[in-house]
Amino acid sequence: MVAVTITDNDIAAITAPASVVVPEGSSTNLPVALSAQPTGTVTVTVAGHAGTDLTLNPVALTFTPTNWNVEQSIVLTAAEDEDLTDDVVALTLTASGGGYTGVRHAVAVTITDNGLAPLSVSIHDLTRREDGKAAQLRVELNRPSDKVVMVQYATSDGTAEAPSDYVSSQGFVVFSRNATKGVISVGIVDDAVAEGEEQLSVTLSKPRSAIIQRAVGMLTIVDDDGGVTLRVEDGVESAEVIRFTVHLSAPSSEPVSVSYRTRDGTAKAGEDYRAVAGMLEFLPGAVAATIAVPLLRDNLDWRQETFTVHLEQSTHAQIAKAVAVATIREAGSVTRNVLAAYTARFVRTSSVHVVEALQERVQSRVDASVCAAGDRADLMRLWQTVSNWRPSLGELLGGCHVSRSTGGFGVWG
């Protein structure tokens, strides 16, 4: 009897291509089988693709003693990237079980660039008037695609705040196949507050089938209420105080301040009114403030007099009307005593002025042609030697008419 020994010369190996080419943005199958019948179930796993543009499905294959030589496929999918160069990914297939434990096979996967920029989505800035209508921010893909692209968005406060300035919003923008344009609608609130320009942001996130090229769009809201202006109204007298009202043209979202001071007219500070100067403050939302000026009166003041208030330096507002007039009203009636006192003071003051002027004329001897030298000497001697004599207005106007008819000197007019 002859004994025959059959020596197994089959080598346990994984059969698969050593290299594979996958165009960017597409998929390719990687066929895998075993070189010999295993003694049991064999599992082949794939590694090396993590962190690359390559995805695999599935990442593990199972072979049995009955299907070991039947090819199974792993689908290799290459994503589009931002560069224009080819990429190479080194995959390692590793077997375990059925007499294949530790058997490995290397596959080099080349991802060829398609020459196209990666499919990306961007949002654009927008400036819009505060007119109560919705603002439409453009969202665009950089090129058409045969895929459906989706991206999320949400609004966020900046200097503009919801809900007083705009209506907050969040949702999705969906691009159908070959579409490249979309919009995000944001409601604008038309208020009566003068605010200047305000901004909010709209942010894209979580794209699907594309990357985000520009994630944030700024929406600028231009106020349609015009710039805030200040104006001061003429003063109104009441209870010995004159009040000036200063108005803002519209409520402001910022504090407004303006400096002011009084200035004399026919009325004088310290005599007719008390001078004031200071700063008016308008808190956000306020539209009016008051300047109060106390009046000063005495028993002889009944004439109508005026003074002014001037607005000078302002913040967060322009001065449209800077000057206001205050009129101090004349007294309703004048008592007899007050009138008599005022008349007496006027007559006394006027008479003194006239007499002093004429006395100075005589004493200075300016008008030498009125009388002869001898007469003038007699007149002056009489004036200087008689201490209690004061010439009357007629005597002074008469000048040097001197008479000795009564045996003495007489000056007449």
Q: Which residues pair with 7 in a beta bridge?
A: none
* Complete edge-to-edge strand list for the sheet that includes strand 72-78: 14-15, 27-34, 72-78, 54-57
Strands (E) located in 58-177: 60-63, 72-78, 87-96, 104-112, 120-123, 126-129, 135-141, 149-157, 170-175
* Confidence band of 344 (pLDDT split at 50, 70, 90): low
Class of domain 229-328: mainly beta
- pLDDT higher at 159 or 195: 159
CA-to-CA distance for 263 and 321, rounded, in angstroms? Answer: 16
* Confidence band of 410 (pLDDT split at 50, 70, 90): very low
Query: Average pLDDT, whole number, for the chain?
Result: 82
**Domain spanning 120-222 has what CATH number?**
2.60.40.2030
Tell whether the model's pLDDT for residue 298 goes beyond 80. no
Q: Rounded mean pLDDT of 57-67?
A: 97
Tell whether the model's pLDDT for residue 397 goes beyond 70. no
Tell whether the model's pLDDT for residue 263 goes beyond 90. yes
pLDDT above 90 covers a percentage of the chain that reads: 58
Question: What pLDDT was estimated at residue 285?
Answer: 85
Tell whether the model's pLDDT for residue 350 goes beyond 90. no
Which residues in the chain are classed under CATH 2.60.40.10? 14-112
Tell whether the model's pLDDT for residue 386 goes beyond 70. no
Element holding 358 (H helix, E strand):
helix 336-364
Question: What pLDDT was estimated at residue 46?
Answer: 97
What does the pLDDT look like over 205-242, one tens digit per residue? Answer: 999 999 999 999 999 988 765 678 899 999 999 989 99
Which span out of 22-26, 82-86, 190-194, 215-219 was modeled with the highest average pLDDT? 215-219
Question: What pLDDT was estimated at residue 283?
Answer: 92
Tell whether the model's pLDDT for residue 44 goes beyond 90. yes
Tell whether the model's pLDDT for residue 175 goes beyond 80. yes
Question: What pLDDT was estimated at residue 387?
Answer: 46
CA-to-CA distance for 199 and 208, rounded, in angstroms? Answer: 28
Fold that domain 14-112 belongs to in CATH: Immunoglobulin-like (2.60.40)
Tell whether the model's pLDDT for residue 38 goes beyond 80. yes
Tell whether the model's pLDDT for residue 337 goes beyond 50. yes
Strands (E) located in 187-304: 198-208, 211-214, 216-222, 229-232, 236-238, 241-248, 256-264, 277-282, 288-294
CA-to-CA distance for 123 and 200, rounded, in angstroms? Answer: 14
Give the closest residue to 379 by CA, choosing from 371, 246, 387: 371
What does the pLDDT look like over 266-292, one tens digit per residue? Answer: 999 999 999 999 999 999 889 999 999
What residue type is assigned to position 65 of the chain?
P
Instruction: Tell me the DSSP string of 217-250.
Output: EEEEEEPSS---EEEEPPPEEETTEEEEEEEESS
Sequence-distant (≥ 6) Cβ neighbours of residue 48 within 8 angstroms? 89, 90, 91, 92
Give the closest residue to 294 by CA, choosing from 276, 267, 268: 276
Cα-to-chain-centroid distance, residue 105: 66
Tell whether the model's pLDDT for residue 122 goes beyond 70. yes
**Strand 211-214, strand 120-123: pairing:** parallel
Question: What pLDDT was estimated at residue 389?
Answer: 52
* Confidence band of 250 (pLDDT split at 50, 70, 90): confident
Which residues in the chain are classed under CATH 2.60.40.2030? 120-222, 229-328
The structure tokens listed for 83 are 């560069």
